[in-house]
Structure 1
Amino acid sequence: MFVHKIDKDLSLKLVDLNDSEEMFQLVDTARDHLKEWLGWVDYTKKVEDSKEFIQGCMRSYAENKSMNTVILYKGKMVGTAGYNSIDWSNKTAYIGYWLHQDYQGNGIMTRVAKALTEYAFEYHKLNKVDIRAAKGNKKSRSIPERLGFVEEGTIRQAEWLYDHYVDHVVYGMLQDDWKLRK
């Protein structure tokens, strides 16, 4: 089983079916908070929905198309993060993440995104890491900004969220730039 220890309190574990119940409960207790920026929340109505999501993640990982992990903070699942997709032709990983509201403000997601970026460059030898966030989602956008990602542009009406479109701001980090920042 893949587990990547970030520091004494924080690690990433490859998602597996044993996470279904805990993941569903985490989503269910943060439903209103997550729904503001994530379009899939209303489709997660029961543990079986989380199980189906995890099965898709496992299939995609086996096909080398993505890597989704659960975030463990002090041994407790607090969110998910990973490469929503990996474009091997262009050597680019697309990071996505969400964190339960009770754990925000502790630097967790910044450390997670940093670890995923380093892993993409050092282990996978990718050239670029991409993070996209809704234009109005200041908390999510602050992660790549804090890590020195370059704001590359805006995709207009990139995502339908229940009853409206949101624009996505695209952030990128190149391997060469990451090395210079170290």
Structure 2
Amino acid sequence: MADVKDDAPVVEVVPHDPAWSGRFTVEQRLLSEALPAALSVEHFGSTSIPGLAAKPIIDILAVVPEVDAVVADLRPLEQLGYVYRPMAFPEDDDHLFFAKDTAGKRSHHLHVFGVTSLIPEANRVFRAYLAANPDAARRYEAAKRRAAQLHPHSRAQYGAAKEEVMTQLLAEAHLWRRAARHQSAEG
């Protein structure tokens, strides 16, 4: 994925916008029609967490029985403006990535996973952890802001710059989930 070379930043972290949840809801309805076999279509990522600053791009996670069926007929997603990026996750055959621009700006990222992928559950745990732990959310927000300041013209470098904090928070999220499961089993 080529990054823009002009002065306009491709990575910008902005304060939380309450309208993001409504933008997702509209897209969820459209995607449910475009992907009728989808088992779930969910809002995830930073825009799904109330109060958290984020890139103003709605991240959507869809789980389908077979990713090959989606690739076999891309027309329903293309009609909604989604562009398939087959090399975005070349190491994961069960992860499709689509980008959508609105009014010339990136507005949506669609991640489609096969039903056997473990990634959707990891994303759900991460989302729940950040929503339930304001300190963790603030650490993630600070890492995102720093990464955007350092790399406003490269999505790849932005992602790499926040990787260490994200990895730490993912580990915390898994420990948090394990502790919650343990407590509910005892309760």
Larger proportion of helix: 2
- Higher strand fraction (1 or 2): 1
So what's the TM-score if we normalise by structure 2? Answer: 0.27
TM-score normalised by structure 1 residue count? 0.27
Q: Relative contact order (alpha carbons < 8 A, sep ≥ 6): 1 or 2 greater?
A: 2
